[in-house]
Chains A and B, each alone.
Chain A
Amino acid sequence: MTVEGLTTSESSTRFARTARPRTVDAMSEDEDAQLMLAYARGQMGAFETLYARHRGALYRYLVRQARDGEVANDLFQEVWSRVIVNRARYEPRAKFRTFLFTLAHNCFIDHCRRAKSRPQGLKVEDADAADLLPADDEELPDVQLARDEGTRRYRAALAALPAEQRDVYLLHEESDLSLEEIARVTGVGAETAKSRLRYAVGKLKAALAVAET
């Protein structure tokens, strides 16, 4: 099946699952900015390279945040749509990765607000975005996707985290952003981000240790 000159096999080959890059060097970040600028000038190949480089990390971040495959898919598409729409206004003042995950963070917050605003008898005004996040792992359908016990425990521990701590932790783990960049994405100070990350790591370590014993 061919869609826009890209077959399914080509798509699978092009974005073959590779080992997750745990670090992104400065060279590739500069390349990301150049790729984004090239795409803004109309080079589709630049976007394909950019997409292949960040699609996995972004998707994992959204899946961990939303804990719902369908929601994550919708958010993933929405984030890239915003990248596409804002291509002409993109300026490489920060890393492209920072720009991308800022969009993802905002999309998720918007999603939580929309979910909360649905007629469920809940008030959304004055509510912090973190309070709107789902906290109960048992409510989520992706529990079915947990094949092994380690993954299930990790997800459960992650889901038990307060939203702001989970957000900072996932940004640190999936996006490879620095603390300063995470603080910029989440709109808090660097010390606040560091504190949240410290609490998140401590809770996750304790939860996983208890589960193992």
Chain B
Amino acid sequence: MNRPDDEFDDFIARRKPIFSRPDEPLEPPDELDRVVLRQAREAIQGDRPQRVFKGPRWGAPLAIAATLVLAISAILHVGMPAKDAPVPTVTVQTISQRLENAPAPAARSPTPNNYAPAAVAAPAARAAAADSSGAVVVDLDDSARAPMAAGGGLVSEEEANRYASAPAAAPMAGAVIDDPVSGSQTVVTDVSPPPTEAERAVAKAAPAPAFRRDPKIWLAEIERLRAAGKGAQADAEFAEYKREHRAYAVAPDR
């Protein structure tokens, strides 16, 4: 006869049952199986990352580099002011029409014709005037003037018209000085630096003469000063005129 302890040890070791146990076929219902399996499937489907569009690996660095280049370019070209003053240029215009009947003084600017002889009378004085006004004096040799000489004074119609009303409509940026002695032509281009804020303030503070309000009258006044022998004052007024009217230009054939 087995002792109770041995019987229990056999039971624990699953070697021998102590009592007869009914074998009930208990199983979970099919619906429960489906619910559990569906839940398990949905759980791992939720873990899978959804496919989204992904660009190439070099896309992001390239985009960043392009953005930096554009930003730096914009800063350099727009954000920072130019340190150097603009370099003056001499505009060479094409003469397209022969001006035959029009008298040269009428077709030209009213200023340079009368002003030129006095300014060109002595090259030294001209250079001195240019130095005093900060202008660059360029001498044009005969070869440059040859077409003009051969044509007997070629002036475009457009140019003539512009000069007829030049002071009011389109002021010139330079002046052409004829030198009857050497036969050369000089283009004077104003490259003087723009007035500083202090200079502008002083200029605004001082009462401006009345003739400066109208460019035509201003130029006439300069001519009058030259005619009166007040060359220095005329030069000063002309320099002021050019400063006020930076677009003032004289064709290179003048």
Are B21's CB and A154's CB within 8 A? yes
Contacts of A4 in B (CB 8 A): 34, 37-38, 41
If A4-B38, A11-B30, A73-B29 touch, does A42 touch B48 (CB 8 Å cutoff)?
yes
Contacts of B43 in A (CB 8 A): 84-85, 87
With beta carbons under 8 angstroms apart, the residue of A6, A39, A59, A209 that contacts B19 is A209
Contacts of B38 in A (CB 8 A): 3-4
Interface residues of B in 191-207 (CB under 8 A from A): none
A150 to B20, CA, bound (A): 9
A73 to B20, CA, bound (A): 27
A20 to B21, CA, bound (A): 13
Are B20's CB and A39's CB within 8 A? no
Are A208's CB and B20's CB within 8 A? yes
Stretch at the interface among A75-83, A112-120, A122-130, A132-140: A75-83
Contacts of B41 in A (CB 8 A): 4, 44
Stretch at the interface among B10-18, B100-108, B157-165, B166-174: B10-18
Contacts of A179 in B (CB 8 A): 12
Rounded to whole Å, the gap between the CB of B3 and the closest CB of chain A is 13
Does any Cβ of B come within 8 Å of A213's Cβ?
Answer: no
A84 to B39, CA, bound (A): 8
Are B37's CB and A51's CB within 8 A? yes
Are B36's CB and A77's CB within 8 A? yes
Rounded to whole Å, the gap between the CB of A213 and the closest CB of chain B is 13
Contacts of A55 in B (CB 8 A): 27-28, 33, 36
A47 to B26, CA, bound (A): 21
Does any Cβ of B come within 8 Å of A90's Cβ?
Answer: no
If A3-B34, A6-B34, A56-B26 touch, does A208 touch B19 (CB 8 Å cutoff)?
yes
If A39-B44, A47-B40 touch, does A201 touch B8 (CB 8 Å cutoff)?
yes
- Grouping DSSP codes into helix (H, G, I), strand (E, B) and loop, the A interface class, with mixed when no group exceeds half, is helix
Q: A48 — nearest CB in chain B belongs to which residue? A: B37
Rounded to whole Å, the gap between the CB of A146 and the closest CB of chain B is 9
Rounded to whole Å, the gap between the CB of A35 and the closest CB of chain B is 12
If A23-B14, A179-B12, A208-B19 touch, does A6 touch B47 (CB 8 Å cutoff)?
no
If A42-B47, A150-B22, A179-B12 touch, does A76 touch B40 (CB 8 Å cutoff)?
no
Does any Cβ of A come within 8 Å of B59's Cβ?
Answer: no
Q: A58 — nearest CB in chain B belongs to which residue? A: B28
Contacts of B37 in A (CB 8 A): 4, 6, 11, 47-48, 51
Does any Cβ of B come within 8 Å of A148's Cβ?
Answer: yes
Interface residues of A in 1-27 (CB under 8 A from B): 3-4, 6, 8, 11-12, 15, 17, 20, 22-23
A204 to B8, CA, bound (A): 13
Are B47's CB and A11's CB within 8 A? no
If A6-B34, A22-B14, A205-B19 touch, does A39 touch B26 (CB 8 Å cutoff)?
no
A172 to B18, CA, bound (A): 13
Are B30's CB and A12's CB within 8 A? yes
B binding-site residues for A, Cβ under 8 Å: 8, 11-12, 14, 18-30, 32-41, 43-44, 47-48
Q: Can you list 7 pairs linking A and B with CB atoms under 8 Å apart? A: A15-B33, A42-B44, A51-B33, A55-B27, A76-B32, A150-B20, A204-B19
List 5 A-B pairs, minimum CB-CB distance, nearest first. A59-B28, A151-B22, A150-B22, A80-B36, A42-B44
